[in-house]
Amino acid sequence: MIGFNPLCICFASQIAYSSTMSSKPKLAFLGLGVMGRPMAAHLVRAGYDVAIYNRTAARADALQTALTAEGLKAAVGKTPAEAAAGRDIVIVCVGNDNDLEQVLSGQDGALSAMQAGSTLIDHTTVSPDMARKAAEWCTAKDIAAVDAPVSGGQAGAENGALAIMCGGTGDAFATAEPIMQAYGKTIVHIGQAGAGQTAKMANQMCIAGALGGLSEAVRLVQASGVDADKVLSAISGGAAQSWQMENRWKTMVADEFDFGFAIDWMRKDLAYALQEADRLGLESPVTQLVDRLYADVQALEGGARQDTSALIRRLPR
């Protein structure tokens, strides 16, 4: 009779675990700002081999140090190409069209080092036209591409609860989805290249409209002298309810506007939305009005870097 040897089971388990880990694709994450840093950290904690890059090198070094303190590690690339070399999937989260173009196709850009058969996941909010252009660059090199802008702000990134809107082929999405599950709560394939960005434009237009109405409502309540908390309790369960109301009513009442997604970035996104609406021959009067109000808030002290709920500052008490 063969005796029971727990060491054999332990050794076999280690082999199985090692095999599982080695089967994971190797990743690069380019762009470690307010959103990118926690997203990259989630991937490392999920067991992926991740190379990181940021144009401001100190941010990459800081993330590497933080991960080391947790007993984890990430390689740091000095250029996008260095970080992307030999990686199965390259993830980008930068600022705008120009930033994305520079990181992908500029000097030492990621595309110069990406191999045929790899996949690009772009979480940057860019214009739909830029997303389609990036997809064309990738197709020319036999690289799959997914435009995957996110919503949920800094808290959503930190909590791994982002909403992700995706454009690209079905095969590209199937490759990208398991990776994005490390930081995404809702992940939807909208359609072909650029469709994810179109969804994000719609998302930002909805937020702008909601905050416009919310700002006026809060000022009405404050001017009347009634209890703002009781008003929130009364209306937040009805047709007026929104994420903005649930999460920003009380902070707007308290003049607190430090929640990660700056007005500068919102105006960038609204410009893309208005540009796309104009291309399609559509009128967007509400979005245009809120964008102008945001321009006024930008001019106030600290306004440009405050959270989008600071729109209420445009309306005097």
Give catalytic residue positions. 200
- The pair of structure tokens assigned to 194 is 């650029």
Beta pairing partners, 164: 150, 187
Contacts of 284 (CB under 8 A, 6+ apart): 205, 273, 274, 277
Q: Count of residues for the chain?
A: 317
Count CB-CB contacts under 10 A for residue 213: 15
| 206 burial type by CB count under 10 A (0-12 exposed, 13-18 middle, 19+ buried) | middle
Reading the block at residue 1, the tokens are: 């009779």
